[in-house]
Chains A and B, each alone.
Chain A
């Protein structure tokens, strides 16, 4: 299994500012995923982050709003740019075990935009 940590665990931000969320994994993984969970909703995939290439974004999510970095096989960041109250969500980082494709999640970052 993989152990995933995220920073910050929560933050309250002003409208129009940006926040960078960090995700650290205790082992090397090929693919990392970023999800968003809006209040009362299920998880929605934002993008898949592969080391050494640009992230692949899902429909409805764009790089200018959610830039992602993946500098190595154990670390990734997601930036939420020019925030609005609609961005208030839990943001979760996830990785897949290469052996059995089991997916593991970090503890999440709870973002509130005022």
Chain B
């Protein structure tokens, strides 16, 4: 059974800092891995999708990497802004639908 761990659970940084969110998963037999953003009380917004054959994906200030063999993914956020404050969730997908970690709650202070 796939288990997902995200570290840190919470993070507070001043505006402008670069930061890294970590995700690890136990079953490396995945098709892809997605990173999502969730604002309080809201649904999930897909940020990046990394296929199992890829090592990284970039979208604007976001860069996600995937090391499938070691069961790890990282989300790098450059030049953080207060609008980046949200919970970030990673979710690998295999033969079953997405399995979620508990997320990293990010607060960017102006």
Q: Does A92 contact B (CB under 8 A)?
A: yes
Query: When A and B form their complex, which 7 residue pairs have the shortest distance between CB atoms, in order from nearest?
Result: A105-B44, A107-B43, A108-B43, A42-B100, A43-B100, A42-B102, A102-B49
Q: Is the CB of A104 within 8 A of B103?
A: no
**B41, B44, B46, most chain A CB atoms within 10 A:** B44
> Looking at chain A, what size class is its interface with the partner chain?
20 to 34
Within 8 A of B (CB), among A31-49: 33, 41-45, 48
A interface residues (Cβ-Cβ under 8 A, vs B):
1, 6, 33, 41-45, 48, 90, 92, 94, 96, 100-108, 110
Chain B interface residue count, Cβ-Cβ cutoff 8 angstroms: 23
- What are the residues of chain B within 8 A of A100 when measuring CB–CB? 32, 49, 51
Listed by A's residue number, 18 A-B pairs whose Cβ atoms lie within 8 Å are A1-B46, A6-B43, A33-B97, A41-B102, A45-B97, A45-B99, A48-B97, A92-B43, A94-B98, A96-B97, A100-B32, A102-B34, A102-B46, A103-B93, A103-B98, A105-B43, A105-B45, A107-B42
Residue of A nearest to B98 (CB): A103
Residue-wise interface mask of B (77-110) relative to A, using a CB-CB cutoff of 8 A (1 in contact, 0 not): 0000000000001010100111111110000000
